[in-house]
Amino acid sequence: MRAYLEPGAAVASVAFAMAIGVYVVAVIDGTASRLVAGGGRSDLGALLVDPLRTVAVLLTQRRRRTERPDAPGWALAPGLLGGLAATGLAVVPVGPGAAVADPSTGFVVFSAAIAFVMIAVFLHGWSPNSLFPMIGAYRYGAQALSLQIPFLLAMLATALPAESLAVMDIVEAQADLWNVVRQPLGLPIYLMVGVGVSFWGPLNLPDGADLVGGTSAEDAGTDRLAWEIARAAMLVAIAAMGAAVFLGGWWGPLLPGPVWMVLKTMGVLAVLVASRHLLARVRIEPFVVACWAVFIPLALVNIFVSGALLL
């Protein structure tokens, strides 16, 4: 394990990155919404202030209690999701030798964080003791189980050329050729699954409109705010890792490495966030079938091809 920062500084820098990232997600979301809706005037000031206004309104709402909830679980779920996002974000390097943490198993840490998202979402749906959150929780079970394997396989392929599970090494190995070129199947699978893991847009099945908000249907005020922030933070973590392992991380001409990393993360983030306004909600049943019958085989092909090229 290579540690680069004192624990206090590490926590502060992850928190800072998360706060900026979440704000950027909100701004991209608002911009995409206005572009798709068309007709209305796009006022830059309003776009930048709107997220803060939403936060202010949510802070003034009092929290709600349902009948016989699992109160600790309810309070814990957004914290768990946010913590997992922070864990994922912490192992993403922003430049050569510049990362909050770079364990030799950074890849495994990130994958484990993604796997635990299922527990956070299920807890969030289970705790309010209410119908729609519960259905949302059940649904995410089916969704997450189907996503995890293609997700791991798509990411695992990126570790092959580096012959290491440290994310820093995976980025280093892309000096000549980015993984997105080397493994053209990997990034689309990763993005699709990334939207699913952070249950966003077309794959927002646990918190979907048909469930009037699903696992967050009973949330008010700070509960809702915390959950939304954690969800957006998860998107940021996914985008940052995608930029690092598929798009060559800090590699790029002219500009300094960290700037490239930020630009690439924003690019991936824009694609992920915009999907919410461009694609209809996926039906859970065909989606589960597609994961097992299409995406897992595709991800395996991706791995075999990458392996064969190394031999």
Partner 1 sequence: MPVFAVAGMGAQVQVDDLLLEPRLRLVDSPAAANVLLIAGAVPPHLSTQLAQLHDASSRPRVPLWWSLGSSLVPPIPPMVQVHEVGPSGLVDAVVHTHRALLLGELPSSPPVLPDEDPAPWRGVGPFGQGGTGMTGGVPYGRPMAEVAPDRDGLRLDQLTVRIGPFFARFPTGLVLAARLQGDVIQQAEVIAAPEGEPAVEIDVRTPFRQALHAPVPVSVLELERARSHLRSIASALVAHQLSSLARRVLRFANQAHPDQAEDVEQLRRLLRRSQVLGWATRGVGTIPAAQLEGTATGPVARASGVEQDERAADPAYLGLGFEPVIHDGGDARSRIAQRLNEADQALKLAGRARDRYHDPEAPLESPRGRLAVGDLPAQRLLPLLPAVLEGMEWGDAVSTVVSLDLDTDEVLALRSPDRELPVP
Residues that bind partner 1 (CB under 8 A): 32-34, 36-40, 57, 60-62, 64, 131-132, 135, 138-139, 201-202, 204-205, 208-213, 216-221, 224, 276-286
Nearer to partner 1, 44 or 280 (CB): 280
End-to-end CA distance of the chain: 29
Nearer to partner 1, 200 or 246 (CB): 200
Nearer to partner 1, 131 or 263 (CB): 131
Shortest CB 38 distance to partner 1, Å: 5
Q: Distance between CA 153 and CA 186 in Å, rounded?
A: 9
Residue that is written with structure tokens 């092959």 in the block: 160
Nearer to partner 1, 266 or 281 (CB): 281
Shortest CB 289 distance to partner 1, Å: 11
Indicate the burial class of 104 (C-beta count within 10 angstroms; 0-12, 13-18, 19 or more).
middle
Q: Distance between CA 7 and CA 27 in Å, rounded?
A: 30
Phi, psi of 40 (to 5 degrees): -75, 160
Q: Distance between CA 54 and CA 259 in Å, rounded?
A: 29
Shortest CB 214 distance to partner 1, Å: 9
Shortest CB 276 distance to partner 1, Å: 7
For residue 3, the surrounding DSSP H or E stretch is strand 2-3
Shortest CB 54 distance to partner 1, Å: 8
Residues with Cβ within 8 Å of residue 11, at least 6 apart in sequence? none
Cα dist. 179→110, 122, 155, 163, 296 in Å? 18, 33, 10, 13, 19
Nearer to partner 1, 221 or 252 (CB): 221
Which residues is 102 bridged to in the sheet? 2
Nearer to partner 1, 6 or 67 (CB): 67
Q: Distance between CA 235 and CA 232 in Å, rounded?
A: 5
Shortest CB 37 distance to partner 1, Å: 4
Shortest CB 35 distance to partner 1, Å: 8
Nearer to partner 1, 241 or 291 (CB): 291
For residue 134, the surrounding DSSP H or E stretch is helix 131-162
Nearer to partner 1, 37 or 255 (CB): 37
Q: Distance between CA 13 and CA 90 in Å, rounded?
A: 9
Shortest CB 76 distance to partner 1, Å: 19
